[in-house]
Structure 1
Amino acid sequence: MPGSPRPRLRRGEPGRAPAARARYAGLAGAVLLAVAGYLGGALPSAPLGATPATIWQGRNGPLVTGVWLVGTALLVGAWWSLRRGAPSTGWAYRTAGLWALPLLVTAPMGSRDVYSYACQGWAYAHGVDPYATGVAEAGCPWLDSVAPIWRDTPAPYGPTFVLLAALAAVAGGGLTGTIVLLRLFALAGTLLAALCLPGLARAAGVPTRRAAWLLLACPLVGVHLLAGAHNDAVMLGLLLLGLLVLVRLPGRPGALLVAGVLLGLAVAVKATAVVVLPFAALTAVHGRYTVRGMLRDGAWLAAGVLAALVGGSLLSGLGPGWIGGLSRSGDSAQWTSPPTAVGFVIDYAGALAGRDPDAVPVARAVALALLALLVVVLWWRAWTTLRGLGDVRQRVARLAAGRPRVTLRAAGLALAATVVLAPVFHPWYATWPLALLAVTAARTTWFVLPSAVACFLTLPDGTNLARFTKAPGALAMTALVLTLVIVLTVTLTRRRRAARAPAPTP
């Protein structure tokens, strides 16, 4: 009504004008990225040699690089500006969809993995075991589009995704049709994740407008999961749906079986999802947290997971061969992986002393052992916290979100540890923890900032900038690791001293 006062904004809610500026700045960035994709994306015809072709060697190289960097800066800046939450959940969904439109109709960008998917699906569809041989030996007709480093390696993905890739290769009728279908699968996974976000956020007591914005509007989702058609989108969609079923229907055998099947399918797309399973078992418990209760409800969940894994292996006829393919996923060595960077620096120091320590495999092995320990610690902390909460049904209403927030946040931290300690890091890996931390974390900068930085690590043709900054990047990453270790050690020491200090007398 004329003369009526405007409604006051809630704390942390952006104004309409800043939000509108962010929306259209991000749209401009997405359009520029789409143009860069058309001019110099990961096109099938791009020349590939012994090493990945660099975009600046091609036609209009400086123009494409400039457009890509400006578009990335606009998109990342717009996403960052509303990191505390969009004006509303609907606004976040509409804006994320608006940004995704130009990225869905451009060429593949950021990597050439989608061509590996296509060839692995083609190989399986033509009777070749993709877990026993590389796509070069299989005789894939689209081999020239696959990055050279992955032409002779077996598929590291589970049977569920191999079946999807084979379906795309058969129904697509050619490389273009196959890529379109693989992108549609990625879109379906992203939409499935989008449907699950509000329910998970509400269960964990986090604003849905913030959770939806942090995940769906993240440039890594639009550029890599959608435009790049990465199978991580399918994994995340199945993972979030399985967790939502557990949150909504804990303790019901039928629901636990369904949730287990969904989580098992996620693992059978990409094995990374296995890290979430111990925390999903905690989410499945209904009533008080006892060993008996967890075994009772966890057994139904485990049965569903095993049914999905065994069923996929039998349906594909490939058996458990995909597990062996995981060992080749670390063939790429880049400083963006902290343990790999530390190994590089040790090798550099050894070279100065006239020795060759070959420290990268050792550093990676130590990191994986540390990851296993961290997962156990996170699970144990979640377990003890949940036992302290008791039966939520007998508590006050403010504890209603206690259980899902504890378990989902612990799962997100476990995925974050997996990304940090894995032998290889690619930018789209950051979407794994982002999906769960977006619906559980109270503070966001510590995981939003690395995701924003990761957006600048690749160029549209798939060139990874880490390959051109090996020594300085390794030194910088190692320095960052040492700094974080020192800060964490000091913080824990202070907390222990504070806990042991006697209480002041009145």
Structure 2
Amino acid sequence: MPDRCGEPGTRYHLIRYVGLAGAVALAVAAGLGGALPEPPAAGWAVFTSGTGVLSVLAWAAGTGAMTWAWWSAQHGVPSVQWALTTVGLWVVPLLVAPPLGSRDAYSYACQGWILRDGGDPYAGVTGQGCPWVDAVAPLWRDTPAPYGPLFVWLAGLAVAVGAGLTGALLALRLTAVAGLVLVAVALPGLAARCGLPAGRALWLTVGCPVVLIHLVSGAHNDALMVGLLVAALWVIAAGSARRPAMAAVAGGLLLGLAVAVKATALVVVPFAAALAVAGPRRPAALVRAGALVVAGVVGAVTATTVLSGLGLGWVDGLTHSGDSRQWISPPTAVGLLIDYLGRLFGVRLDAVGPARAVGLALLAGFLMWLWWRVWRGGGPLAGWRGPDSRAVPVADSVGPPQTWDRGTVVFGAGLALAATVLAAPVVYPWYLSWPLALLAGAAYRTGWFLAPVAVAGFLVLPDGTGVAALTKAPGTVAMCALIVVLVVRAVRSARRPGAS
């Protein structure tokens, strides 16, 4: 809490500078054994490689310090300015250090280089002349880029202005920072319209170690997608009362730009349409607002596709996103466990593919149910959102004349993104940034989604080696056990009197 003079107290000073020390330790880890373009000298690899003693110790200490600082202020910060200043301090060491936790930035750089050279970045980076191809993770060298035309064009711009690999990586990081700036501008207003404190929402999002380590240091394009997505919902929510048509189109355009970075943003479109409705919750109003939002989305995707000169090759790239098999993805973990059990009986199975298909089918069903609950005014979503959430008072709590509670709609969009992450064929820690901003801005209860995000920060070593790859069998068993526990709890909750 602030002291009597209105300044943050000792506790918040401790949070700020422990987190800063953690950021410095992470920068050291990146220098010693991060995702470097060339491996360290052989004689020092045992100490300074991505799995070396010194780099892992610095990474663990830095991640632990930042996670403690972030978690300690989860219930509120002195002010939005305090949160932004603190995060700004933490970002500086990560901006000047080598990438951490992933080699994707080198993939982005090569895709940008190929675009600038007149090649096809959607045909893989091998054999197209990129001078940095050896720095790209082997798994992704022959994989079509799954990113939309806007981001690939921005990657080409980063290469053009960077004039070299170091400059290109810095430009890509600044692109990620621009996405977080969009979050910093839009999320406080969106959270306020959902009845949540702006400072808390901002802190939980941009102060999150996963966001800073992977979106800033790792330069992942998820930052730009999330920034555009949050900005889209904020524009719609802010303008739906005064100029609903203009707000719906403008929000749709921003949402379309998010889709042109990563197709994941499409999941939010139905909820954006609901948010764009001004007045009573009637089907005709939803159709009108939804048509304007969809027109904006289609217009933005079409314009970026045409103006960038890129086709739809990224759609094919989406089919290769499951080439990696890790237990962090619940459907993949179930498939791996079935395979392990089959081997115990001498039967060789390949259950990962079917398990992933079942996961996607369950996702489709859940998204339809979730949209229906939002349309009906929330139902059990109010309980999930938290004890302080409350629907807009209405005369008829059943029929469509009811208006939407903005917080419930945004919360539903966050749940949709969270479900998309859980059902994905492969899950990386930075994927958890997709729902984080919306849940932070709309949920009263936070522990249930902050805890997994905190754990995710420890799942990738400095050079991008996944802890999941090092713990494949025990991790698979643990994930499946967790799934059973959560399913049992969900069934018991659904059977309670009054559950709907």
**Percent identity of paired positions between Structure 1 and Structure 2:** 53
Q: Report if aligned partners of 1:289, 1:390 keep a CA contact under 8 Å in 2.
A: no
Over aligned residue pairs, what C-alpha RMSD do you find?
A: 2.5
Secondary structure of the residue aligned to 2:441 is coil
Counterpart check, 1:225 vs 2:223: no
Once the two structures are superposed, residues 52-108 of structure 1 have per-residue CA deviations (whole angstroms, 9 ceiling, x without a partner) of xx9767399211111111111111011111111112222111111111111111111
Q: Tell me what 1:487 maps to.
A: 489
Q: Tell me what 1:429 maps to.
A: 431
Matches within 5 A, 1:5-404: 16-46=9-39, 58=49, 61-131=52-122, 133-250=123-240, 252-385=244-377, 403-404=405-406
Matches within 5 A, 1:417-456: 417-456=419-458
Change beyond 3 A, Cα 1:392–1:494: closer
Q: Report if aligned partners of 1:288, 1:390 keep a CA contact under 8 Å in 2.
A: no
CA distance in 2: counterparts of 1:428 and 1:144, whole angstroms: 23
Where do 5+ consecutive residues of structure 2 fail to align?
380-389
CA distance in 1: counterparts of 2:14 and 2:48, whole angstroms: 35
Q: Note the C-alpha offset of 1:188.
A: 0.7
Letter in 2 for 1:470: K
CA distance in 2: counterparts of 1:245 and 1:60, whole angstroms: 44
Once the two structures are superposed, residues 13-67 of structure 1 have per-residue CA deviations (whole angstroms, 9 ceiling, x without a partner) of x97222221111111111111111111111111279xxxxx97673992111111
Moved more, 401-410 or 70-79: 401-410
CA distance in 1: counterparts of 2:46 and 2:157, whole angstroms: 32
CA distance in 2: counterparts of 1:419 and 1:358, whole angstroms: 22
CA distance in 1: counterparts of 2:427 and 2:216, whole angstroms: 19
CA distance in 1: counterparts of 2:205 and 2:449, whole angstroms: 11
Once the two structures are superposed, residues 445-483 of structure 1 have per-residue CA deviations (whole angstroms, 9 ceiling, x without a partner) of 000000000000111111111111000000000000011
Using structure 2 for the length normalisation, give the TM-score.
0.91
Letter in 2 for 1:24: Y
Change beyond 3 A, Cα 1:225–1:404: same
CA distance in 1: counterparts of 2:67 and 2:463, whole angstroms: 19
Letter in 1 for 2:417: L
Secondary structure of the residue aligned to 2:455 is helix
Q: Note the C-alpha offset of 1:7.
A: 5.0
Change beyond 3 A, Cα 1:475–1:299: same
Give the aligned length.
479
Q: Report if aligned partners of 1:279, 1:379 keep a CA contact under 8 Å in 2.
A: yes
Change beyond 3 A, Cα 1:345–1:55: farther
Change beyond 3 A, Cα 1:22–1:319: same
Q: Note the C-alpha offset of 1:394.
A: 13
CA distance in 2: counterparts of 1:411 and 1:458, whole angstroms: 27
Change beyond 3 A, Cα 1:417–1:394: closer
Secondary structure of the residue aligned to 1:385 is coil
Q: Report if aligned partners of 2:30, 2:99 keep a CA contact under 8 Å in 1.
A: yes
Q: Report if aligned partners of 1:41, 1:462 keep a CA contact under 8 Å in 2.
A: yes
Letter in 2 for 1:110: G
Structure 1 stretches of 4+ with a deviation exceeding 4 A read: 6-9, 54-57, 386-395
Q: Report if aligned partners of 2:367, 2:416 keep a CA contact under 8 Å in 1.
A: yes
Once the two structures are superposed, residues 347-395 of structure 1 have per-residue CA deviations (whole angstroms, 9 ceiling, x without a partner) of 0011111112200001111001111111111111011107996898999
CA distance in 1: counterparts of 2:405 and 2:102, whole angstroms: 38
Letter in 2 for 1:259: G
